[in-house]
């Protein structure tokens, strides 16, 4: 996995860990910090240590693994890899419909980092949902997270840049909850109240989202469940006879969790 901190990776890992411990399996965890050399090297090193299977979390899978591989949010068809993916089209639709129903038409967006495997598919899903709802996306209101840090500071900095453009917006849809938390700080410093002046929607539903001030409206990924599913499929594949067919893709459903960070747009 890229790193272990509060948020996406930690919740997926908790599901993986629970199931592997329950089934009596020992495991290694390695963090590559998006370094391409480590992404290439770690699978080889782990196989040299006689691991029976690999789980890749938000990590591009390479060809050539000699053991079963399950990927959480990899979005690439690779021989021997089972992909656990979210229905991003539905996720974008749920969030965008919620904002439109509240009267928002000028929406700012925080795209994910270029290295994240979810960035491209989520952004295309958001653009598709906007088109379906008759919304025009203002490119000056689209910011991209530009750091590998798992800190809210990344969303804070990008939101300050969006505010500096002078373009008006009444809602912001963030790439994840961590960046949404940073965005709220930037909005408040600029004198914008959340949700009275700007509604904010996050993504993931990390454990602290419900305890923010205001509590964060977000698209829930069943992250812990995705970790459990990944571990279950991997163990089935490890214990199956050679050349047994395996699932190529398993899709999980998102859920919109409405809390206090969204409200009706001002007339």
Per-residue pLDDT of the chain (267 residues; tens, 9 = 90+): 988 876 788 899 999 999 999 999 999 999 998 888 998 999 999 999 999 999 999 888 878 788 999 999 877 788 999 999 999 999 999 999 999 999 999 999 999 998 888 899 999 999 999 999 999 999 999 999 987 777 899 999 999 999 999 999 999 999 999 999 999 999 999 999 999 999 999 999 998 999 999 999 999 999 999 999 999 999 999 999 888 999 999 999 999 999 999 999 988
43 — phi, psi (to 5°)? -60, -40
The two three-digit tokens of residue 33, written as one number: 């910090």
CATH fold label, 88-220: Rossmann fold (3.40.50)
| CA pair distance 157, 90, nearest whole angstrom | 28
> Which pLDDT value is given to residue 6?
66
Q: Where are the domains of the chain?
A: 8-86+222-253, 88-220
203 class by beta-carbon count within 10 Å (0-12 exposed, 13-18 middle, 19+ buried) = buried
Please write the tens of the pLDDT for every residue from 228-252.
999 999 999 999 988 899 999 999 9
| CA pair distance 184, 261, nearest whole angstrom | 9
Strands 217-220 and 255-257: what pairing? antiparallel
> Which pLDDT value is given to residue 62?
79
CATH fold label, 8-86+222-253: Rossmann fold (3.40.50)
Q: Can you spell out the DSSP letters for the chain?
A: ----STTHHHHHHHHHHHHHHHTT--------TT-HHHHHHHHHHHHHTT-S-EEEES-PPPTT-SS-EEEES-----TTEEEEEE-HHHHHHHHHHHHHHTT---EEEEEPPTT-TTHHHHHHHHHHHHHHTTPPP-GGGEEE------STHHHHHHHHHHHHT----SEEE-SSHHHHHHHHHHHHHTT--TTTT-EEEEEE--TTGGGSSSPPEEEEP-HHHHHHHHHHHHHHHHHSPTT----SEEEE--EEE--SS--PPP-
Contact in structure between 203 and 218 (CB atoms under 8 Å): yes
| CA pair distance 232, 64, nearest whole angstrom | 22
Tokens 């053991």 label which residue?
67
Please write the tens of the pLDDT for every residue from 90-144.
999 999 999 999 999 999 999 999 888 889 999 999 999 999 999 999 999 999 9
> What sign for the dihedral angle of Cα 159, 7, 2, 234?
negative
Residue 103 CA, distance from chain mean position: 26
| CA pair distance 171, 103, nearest whole angstrom | 10
164 class by beta-carbon count within 10 Å (0-12 exposed, 13-18 middle, 19+ buried) = exposed
């Amino acid at each position: 996995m890229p790193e272990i901190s509060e948020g996406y990776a930690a919740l997926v890992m908790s599901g993986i860990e629970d199931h592997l411990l329950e089934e009596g399996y020992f495991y290694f965890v390695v963090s590559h910090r998006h370094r391409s050399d480590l992404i290439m090297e770690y699978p080889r090193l782990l196989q040299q240590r006689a691991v029976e299977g690999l789980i890749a979390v938000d990590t591009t899978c390479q060809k050539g693994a000699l053991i079963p591989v399950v990927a959480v949010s990899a979005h690439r068809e690779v021989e021997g890899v089972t992909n656990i993916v979210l229905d991003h089209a539905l996720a974008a639709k749920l969030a965008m419909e919620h904002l439109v129903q509240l009267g928002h038409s000028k929406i700012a967006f925080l795209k994910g980092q270029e290295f994240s495997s979810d960035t491209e598919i989520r952004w295309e899903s958001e653009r598709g949902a906007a088109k379906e709802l008759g919304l025009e996306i203002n490119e000056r209101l689209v910011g991209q997270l530009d750091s590998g840090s798992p800190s809210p500071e990344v969303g804070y900095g990008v939101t300050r840049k969006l505010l500096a453009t002078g373009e008006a917006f009444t809602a912001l849809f963030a790439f994840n909850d961590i960046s949404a938390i940073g965005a709220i700080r930037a909005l408040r410093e600029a004198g914008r109240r959340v949700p009275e002046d700007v509604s904010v929607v996050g993504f993931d539903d990390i454990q602290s989202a419900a305890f923010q001030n205001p509590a964060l409206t977000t698209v829930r990924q069943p992250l812990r469940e995705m970790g459990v599913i990944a571990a279950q499929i991997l163990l089935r594949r490890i214990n199956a006879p050679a050349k047994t067919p395996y699932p190529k893709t398993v899709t999980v459903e998102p859920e919109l969790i409405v809390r206090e960070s969204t409200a009706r747009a001002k007339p």
